[in-house]
Chain A
């Protein structure tokens, strides 16, 4: 009887342990399979398998990684809103500052790719101000600089890159190069303010400054013609005609000329930036979104 009791006890204990082990093995296998799908860039299947893992993982052992992988898969597929939701879930299940930092960093990369400037900048300020992220200061400065570079704030980007001081930081060599890119962007871009000021003083001059000669001459001609008409009306003692021409015709051309200059300047600067972004996308060997 005693023997039977002991055997039953061992038997029950063994079964419970075996079942738990089997389940853990299955969860690990499921995680590996899902990860394999992600690495093969089969993002739809990867999401399905990670969701399956989350569903069966009652102990939430894989919740952090699974949610992070789902978020990254959605981000790769361009489903940014869903990705954002899963980044938040991953952040909730993070168990250390490093894990939380990983989530924030991946979310930042997504905002850079999706060109969501306000969210990216908010995230940067959060990452750089959190005390528990102090250990990753150099890395966060690198990514903050990268984000500012992406959103055409070359000066701000340099400011972040220059805060990376230690040579031990593995990205230090890349930072020197990124600083040079920032300098090149600043040197080659044209000031929107100067272009607009030129157009304020002499209609069409801003466009000519930006290399749009035809548009500049056309703008100058329209403005000159309407001023001539107004002057002609005033000189013929037809003041009301003159005022109407100035307010309804000339003002339209004058304000249009300034808007036009601003648009040209922004396009010009975007081209300079996009040339470097293209380079970063295809040639740059350092970490990028």
Chain B
């Protein structure tokens, strides 16, 4: 009888073991869902759910993991200041994620183009074991700004061969970026219409400019010589307008040429960094 009573009690307990609460209210359910959101790239909802989970204060999941995921989610959302807030919590933490978090923090400064703060932080970071990582991104930041001041000195501090090779290649590429001087382009076009465009490698534009300005110049001269003043002035007006446009166009063409080359270089650099995951080992959250 005693045994049956015990059995009944157990039965009653187990019968009500499955909580009636909804999936959204229980921390047991939220964390796996957060991982699902994170892995499917829905970072906005990941951050919302994580914040809710932290507020609940009843999760069995390590708080460092939650902070790291929050930092990563905000980083993916390009909300770098908020991301910093969560990664910086690792500064005085003994967490095994500390090394990763600090790297992500530095990466945030780089991605946020926060170069001034990035250098300041770098100068204070000499005691950290991930110093080499700072140098890598410091050089990358200089390359992005198309500056090579003291870059070799910085490169000496990067010992990892693959990083060294990557950076050295990009330093060489940066030095070889073709540049066209806008003033030269303007002067060339002022002397021979269209030659500034040819200098900036816009060959067809240059030929059209040359022909149009030449034709209208000739027509103006020819009409004035023949005493047809009205047509002379008409062609002079149009010709002068085209001549001025040709000079302005050449200056702009040189600027566009430079900006295209610089953008291409910056994109290559960024693609290279992304391909290498910014030289941070990936923590596998997603299966």
Contact = CB atoms under 8 A, between A and B. Distances in A.
A26 B226 contact: no
Given A48-B45, A51-B45, A52-B33, A14 B15 contact: yes
Interface string A2-19: 000001000100110011
B181 interface: no
A11 B228 contact: no
B287 interface: no
Interface in A21-61: 22-23, 26, 29-30, 33, 47-49, 51-53, 55-56
Contacts of B216: 248
Given A7-B7, A11-B11, A49 B231 contact: no
B9 interface: no
A181 interface: no
Given A15-B15, A18-B15, A238-B226, A52 B23 contact: yes
A240 B24 CA distance: 83
A51 B22 contact: no
Contacts of B231: 229, 232-233, 238, 241
Given A19-B18, A30-B23, A244-B215, A55 B223 contact: no
A26 B20 CA distance: 7
Nearest to A22: B18
A26 B23 contact: yes
Given A33-B22, A229-B234, A233-B231, A241 B15 contact: no
- The SS class assigned to the B binding surface is helix
A5 to B, nearest CB: 12
- The SS class assigned to the A binding surface is helix
B165 to A, nearest CB: 38
Nearest to A18: B15
Nearest to A47: B45
A236 interface: yes
Interface in B229-287: 231, 234, 238
Interface string A230-273: 00110010101100100011000000000000000000000000
A173 B36 CA distance: 48
B219 interface: yes
Interface residues of B, number: 29
A55 B36 contact: yes
27 contacts: A11-B7, A14-B15, A19-B18, A26-B22, A29-B22, A30-B22, A30-B24, A47-B45, A49-B24, A51-B33, A51-B37, A51-B45, A53-B23, A55-B36, A56-B29, A229-B231, A229-B234, A232-B231, A238-B223, A238-B226, A238-B231, A241-B222, A241-B223, A241-B231, A244-B215, A248-B212, A249-B238
Interface of B: 7, 11, 14-15, 18, 20, 22-24, 29, 32-33, 36-37, 42, 45, 48-49, 212, 215-216, 219, 222-223, 226, 228, 231, 234, 238
Interface of A: 7, 11, 14-15, 18-19, 22-23, 26, 29-30, 33, 47-49, 51-53, 55-56, 229, 232-233, 236, 238, 240-241, 244, 248-249
10 closest A-B pairs by beta carbon, nearest first, are A22-B18, A55-B36, A48-B45, A55-B33, A56-B23, A52-B23, A30-B23, A52-B33, A19-B18, A15-B14
Given A48-B48, A51-B45, 18 more contacts: A11-B7, A11-B11, A11-B14, A15-B14, A22-B20, A30-B23, A47-B45, A51-B33, A51-B36, A52-B23, A56-B29, A229-B234, A236-B228, A238-B226, A238-B231, A241-B222, A244-B215, A248-B215
